[in-house]
Amino acid sequence: MKKNRKSNKYSIVSLFSGCGGLDLGFKGDFYSLGKKYNSHSFEIKWANDFDEKACITFAKNFNDPIVCGDIVQILKGHYPDLLSPQMPNKADIILGGFPCQEFSLAGKRRGFRSQRGLLYQSMVEAVKRLRPAVFVAENVKGLLSMDNGEAIKKIIKDFSVLGYSVVYKLHHAADFGVPQNRERVVIVGTDKKRNLPTFEYPQEIHSKENWINLKQAIGDLANISEGKIENHFWSKAKMFKGTQGNSIISKDKIGPTMRAEHHGNIEFHWSGKRRLSAREAARIQTFPDDFIFYPSTSSAYKQIGNAVPPVLGWHIAGAVETFLDKYLK
């Protein structure tokens, strides 16, 4: 399958899209932390998520179709309503950051025995049906150690059986310009039936010595009044020492991991006077300032924490585009 003749772009089906961090990275054409990230040759033909609030954010920030509903039911032909766009029967790329909380080192790690863990099987089924040239999945670091390494082995096996060459790599987002302590596993499969070789990952552009720190990323927001810019609202939860999120960030370092399950306990700004705002959290995740989150601050925190940093996604997308241009005939 080659680029769409009319658009000259590779087609994407995006699963577990959330608010669209990985999708934005693949589309490109955005500014983040004062830098322009150019367009890529990808178009999102269909996207899906179960979180209604994340779907609202996606719909308001992209001119691309998203179906809000249970992917397990959709794959059975049960769409949320009669007007829902149907999943295409083919795509060049499938993106799928399948739910990660059950694999997290900080979570209970029920993994494949949980309902969330089993959702990843929907991505396996989608790859089987649509037969993309490439699929990309992102997950938490804990996936590599889950069940003494058996989880990642199972994932590789499940996709290998379908005829894909599967590789994975642990990326530190800060190495790609994300001002955050965020390590994520990126799994990429390439179609052996099309004689595609194994995927070639992008090269890091930063080292620990020149990581972008928080002062560089959000320093200009420090004295802006609450509500003066979009999503610049913060949790009013008080400090509870010794619990997750109840610490004061350092402006001279990268930020802590932006988490989905803050429950209001996002870290405190270096001033010590307030917690980080949703806009500051979005900056730390490298979302552009014109990317607006709906409908509330608490839901914004969750969507931001669940997202793939767009800048990390942009670098992965560039490597995928280069790979397809080189090998897909």
Residues 6+ apart with CB under 8 A from 255: 179, 180, 181, 214, 217, 249, 267, 284
Radius of gyration of the chain (CA): 19
Does residue 116 carry a pLDDT above 80? no
Say which residues have a Cβ less than 8 Å from residue 203's Cβ, sequence separation at least 6: none
Contact 74, 2 (CB under 8 A): no
Residues forming the active site: 100
Q: Provide the pLDDT for residue 121.
A: 86
Report the candidate in 179, 168, 119, 164 with the shortest Cα–Cα distance to residue 143.
168
pLDDT bin (cut points 50, 70, 90) of residue 244 is confident
Q: How many helices (H) and strands (E) does the chain have?
A: 10, 9
CA 118, chain centre distance (Å): 19
Q: How many Å apart are CA 241 and CA 297, to the nearest integer?
A: 23
Q: What percent of the chain has pLDDT over 70?
A: 91
With 90 as the cut, is the pLDDT of residue 151 above it?
no
Distance of alpha carbon 120 from alpha carbon 256, whole angstroms: 27
Average pLDDT of the residues in 185-200: 97
Domains along the sequence of the chain with CATH: 10-206+308-327 (3.40.50.150)
pLDDT tier, 287 (very low <50, low <70, confident <90, very high otherwise): very high
Per-residue pLDDT at 120: 82
In this predicted structure, the answer to whether residue 123 has a pLDDT above a threshold of 50 is yes
Looking at residue 243, its pLDDT comes to 73
Q: Indicate the SS3 state at residue 164.
A: strand
Q: Centre a 10 Å sphere on the Cβ of residue 58 and count the other Cβ atoms it contains.
A: 28
Calpha distance 145→56 (Å, rounded): 34
Query: Mean pLDDT: which of 114-123, 244-253, 310-319 is highest?
Result: 310-319
Single out the residue of 51, 62, 110, 69 nearest to residue 301, CA to CA. 51
**pTM recorded for the entire structure:** 0.94
Tell me the pLDDT of the chain averaged across its residues.
Answer: 92
* 290/301 Cα distance (integer angstroms): 16
Lowest mean pLDDT segment, chosen from 199-203, 254-258, 260-264 = 260-264
Alpha-carbon distance of 179 to 283, in angstroms, equals 9
- In the sheet with 42-49, reading across from the earlier edge strand, the strands are 66-68, 42-49, 10-15, 93-96, 134-140, 183-191, 164-172
